[in-house]
Amino acid sequence: MAQGPITALVMHPVVREELLRPDHIERLDRICRLVSSDALRTFDGHDALPRVQVLITSWGSPRIDSAALSALPSLRLVAHLAGSVKGFVDESVWRQGIQVVNAVAANAVPVAEYTLAAILFCNKQVLRLAAFYNRYQENRAPWTKEAPNVGNYRKTIGVVGASHVGRKLLELMRPFDFTVLLYDPYVTALEARDLGARKVSLSELLAGSDIVTLHAPLLPETRHMIGSRELALLKDGTTLINTARGALIDHDALIAELSTGRIDAVLDTTEPEVLPPTSALYRLPNVLLTPHIAGSLGNETQRLSDHIIDEVERYARGQPLRHRVRFDDLARLA
C-alpha cells in the first residue's frame, strides 16, 4: 500500500468496471491509498471520507456541493474521469481552494480523429459515389461528372471553435494540403496562426469553406448559432459536420436546407439526442447520422483513465497539474 493521498472512487459501479481495469487499480494502489477498490455512490456512510484528499469521480457521481464538502473536510483534488464537470462540481469546490481536473483533453482525441476521417471521406465524396456505384453497379470513371470538386487537395476547412477538440483537429490537419479557417471570439489572430489557421468571422468561414466542422461549447449564446441565415451562406456542395452538441444548429432550418440537396451533413449529435422516427434526417441521402460515437468508446476509454491517473500521480508527487479546470473559465466551457 502506498503512502500517498487517501483517495476514493465515486461513480456508478458499471462505469467503474468499464473504465478502471485491474492494472489501473494496481497503479492507483502504488501512488495513493484507496479507501476501496469499489466505487462509492454517496458521500456518507464510509469511515474514511473525512480523511479523503482525492476524489476520482465519473458518470454516476453525486454532485459535489457544500453539503458533500462538509463530509469531506480533507478534500484537496477532484479528478473527474470524464469530460465536463458542469453538473458534478459546485462552485463551492473552487471557493474552498480545491483543485479540479478532468479528462476533456483525452476525450478530444477520438472526436478529432472521427472529424478528420469525416473530412477526408466527405472531400473524396465517398458516401455519394458509394451510393451511386451501389445503385448503378458500374464504373463510370472519371467520377468528376458525378462528383464535381472531388478530392482533398487545397480544400478549405472551416473550424468553428478552438476547444480541446478543435485544437486537436487543427493539429491533426497540419500534414494535409488544406487551407484552414478558424472562428473563435476568444482566440487572437496570432494564436490562430500558431494553431495553423486564419482567424475569420463566422460569416466569412461559412461562405468560404468546403467543409464546416463545429467544435463550440453549447452555451446560451451559441444555441442555434447555425440557423437559416448561416446555412444560406454555405456554398453548394459544402459538408457540415457536427460532433459537438446538436443544439448548436437549428434543426428545422437544417432539414429545410438539406432537403434541397444543396449541402451535405455528417451529424454525430442532434437535437434531440435521439431523433424521433419521423425525422427527415434518417431518410435524406445527403446525411450521415451516427449515434454520438465520436467520443471515447471501447478501448478509447482507457485513455481517459490513463489521463486521470497521470494527474493523480502528479498531485501525489507534488508536481503541477496539467489539466486543471479553472472556475473563471467555466462560463465558456462545455
Active site residues: 245, 273
**Residues 6 or more apart whose Cβ sits within 8 Å of residue 128:** 146, 147, 264, 286
C-alpha pair distances (Å), 326 with each of 59, 198, 243, 321, 332: 20, 27, 24, 12, 11
Tell me whether strands 211-214 and 239-242 are parallel, antiparallel or unpaired.
parallel
Indicate the SS3 state at residue 250. coil
Amino acid at 76: R
Cβ-in-10-Å burial (0-12, 13-18, 19+) of 262 comes to: middle
The number of beta carbons lying within 10 Å of the beta carbon of residue 265 is: 23
C-alpha pair distances (Å), 88 with each of 57, 60, 160, 173, 302: 9, 9, 27, 33, 21
SS (H, E, C) 53-111: CEEEECCCCCCECHHHHHCCCCCCEEEECCCCCCCCECHHHHHCCCEEEECHHHHHHHH
Residue 164 CA, chain-centre distance (Å), reads 7
Task: Give the CB-side neighbour count of residue 267, counting CA atoms within 13 A.
Answer: 28
CA proximity to 122, closest of 5, 237, 285, 7? 237
